[in-house]
Structure 1
Amino acid sequence: MITLKNIIKTFDGNTVLKNISTVFEQGKTNLIIGRSGSGKTVLLKSTLGLFEVDSGEIWYNERNFTQMNQKERKVLRREVGMVFQGGALFDSISVEGNVRFPLDMFTEMSSAEKQKRVDFCLDHVNIEKQAFKLSPSEISGGMQKRVAIARAIALNPKYLFCDEPNSGLDPETATVIDQLIQTLTKEFQMTTIINTHDMNSVIEIGESVLFISHGQKEWEGTKNEILSSGNQKLEDFIFANKLYAQMKKGK
């Protein structure tokens, strides 16, 4: 579980996050949604510690991240997995080499132990063995995202952050990635936070949804509660989405 308490973040005198409080629950897919420029990416990066907040508290379970020194934060970050928007795979090394990378960096595992963990993670994201030795450029975009997820779970993280994991994917592949993230979240009981603008993802896996507008928390709830939220800003954000329009019509 990650708890945010009264988070404020400014850049050059401009307040980007305005007193945001929320709880990201363990074992659930927690989604942050909002328009471009709403502050959702800043919130994600602030929670990770990539941006220092001006005030407020960030708690990782019972640990106050905002009061930790750099050494303590470095230890905690070993419990964090990250799936970047573009995948951010190293094209100069193989698929299995990408998944082994955090194990080489942060563990004292033997070569055999590392290989066993690599095989386990790639198997869990349904990458076949014949692809292990390929470079990322030799596999599809959907497979690249799955490899990125395998790398993110290599260190068996307690917390998983996903920044627009469906970016650049076709709807069918995006759904597969959504379901994969949700399955892994439940299997490993991670606290998963997903930054997205994809309403298909919200309807598919939005167990907990935080809607941000102009740096403020406007609404939070589940995917099932969105249709009856009564929040005009939320409806303005999603009403143009065809999937939402169909659901509204069939309600």
Structure 2
Amino acid sequence: MTDAEWALLEPLLPPPACETGRGRPEKWHRRDIVDGIRYVVDNGIKWRAMPADYPPWRTIYGFARRWAATGVISLIRDHLRRAVRLSSGKPPQAVAVVVDSQSVKASETVGKDSRGYDGAKKINGRKRHLVVDTRGLVLLVMVTPADIQDRDAAKEILFRLHLMHPEIATVWADSAYAGQLVTWAKDRVNITLKTVRRPPNTTGFIVLPRRWVVERSLSWIMRARRHCRDHERLPQVSESLITWASITLMTRRLTRKPARRSSRATPAAMATAA
């Protein structure tokens, strides 16, 4: 993590317990803790395989669980998303989002109570449900067994979305979310659910309007090797690590240096100067 990234994240973390009079001074610097979490997510290692130059893995895992349980990483994600939108000339809050799911295989560490078999994809594991804005930035993550149908999980997703982001008015989705769910969304949470269907008589891969945005976000998350397969015993831990992947993406985007322009004169520029 660069100094610029840490300058973004440090003010968003909760104060140490010693500063509030409820605990001892922390032994390890917060930056090392965040680096350890990001190392696990990006490289896909086991928690117990944490390199020796990082804090103990139990310490890093404990911070990751507490920050996830108290909603700290959700607040960080929302703050960074608003910053990215403002930097690109967009309003801080999105009013239209895109939803989709992805089935991934689960390791042997995932219990039977939180995994299932997706007959359509022929995958035994879990399903990630992702809600992103029109720029592909994550608003909500929910992990379920892979045998849960999209339209069944969508009710819980839309209800959470309405509570967390009441400004959302439109949700784009694929045909798996069609049917009675459209009426339910409008009546219960006042959200307009629009489905994007594949054009008839088409074969092979084609880019569909709106839907490509969330597909791209899923591919961004899969760049973090921890998410190529679900290894987490608890779905909540899987959701938090997916959120960390999106946080890393946004901090890098906000601190990215502008590309240098080539000093070599182009033929067109030389002709103009002449």
- Alignment TM class, shorter chain as reference: under 0.3
Query: Does 1 or 2 have the higher relative contact order (CA < 8 Å, sep 6+)?
Result: 1
Comparing both structures, which one devotes a greater share of its residues to strand?
Answer: 1
- Structure 2-normalised TM-score? 0.23
Comparing both structures, which one devotes a greater share of its residues to helix?
Answer: 2
